[in-house]
Amino acid sequence: MGLIKEFKAFIMKGNVLDLAVAVIIGGAFGKVVTSLVSDIIMPPIGLILGKVDFKQLKLVIQSGKEAVMNGTQIVTPAVSEVSLNYGMFVQNIFDFVLIGFCIFIVLKAYQKVSPKKEEAPAPKEPTNEEKLLTEIRDILKSKN
């Protein structure tokens, strides 16, 4: 029974709950921003650049071939296309940059509305008495 109580105490800690909420909200936020990039921002950019869909851009290394059949017998098997899908890479980089920018804007807004922490007071300058006592101590150390 102790293990269950420990697990319950662990789960109910504020940090674990905060982390769970952050992961869930972050996942949903990522989907929203990805949709914004894929469905709202990239189509006009693709249109401006000559009706290009970035996800379809690729460099074909080896063309695919369909299987050659003689009735039900396979004469030559099918060959899959081998390509570098750099369009998806460009799309993912754009998503990453935009998500990072959105998080930056959210954090800046949060910092403006959150109460500012008080800074620790600067250390005081030693008094004249403390300076004299320090000098006397240093002189006595040097004589010994």
For the chain, the straight-line distance linking the first and the last C-alpha, in angstroms and rounded, comes to: 67
Name which residue leads in pLDDT, 131 or 51.
131
The residues that bridge with 82 in the sheet, in sequence order, are 62
Residue 1 has pLDDT above 70, yes or no: no
Which pLDDT does position 34 carry in this prediction?
78
pTM, to two decimals: 0.49
Structural domains present in the chain:
2-114 (1.10.1200.120)
User: Where does the pLDDT of residue 14 fall: very low under 50, low under 70, confident under 90, or very high at 90 and above?
Assistant: low
Q: Which tens digits make up the pLDDT trace of 66-89?
A: 877 777 877 777 778 888 888 888
Q: Look up residue 8 and give its amino acid.
A: K
User: Where does the pLDDT of residue 137 fall: very low under 50, low under 70, confident under 90, or very high at 90 and above?
Assistant: very high
In 38-130, which ranges are E strands?
A: 59-62, 68-70, 73-76, 82-84
Which pLDDT does position 91 carry in this prediction?
79
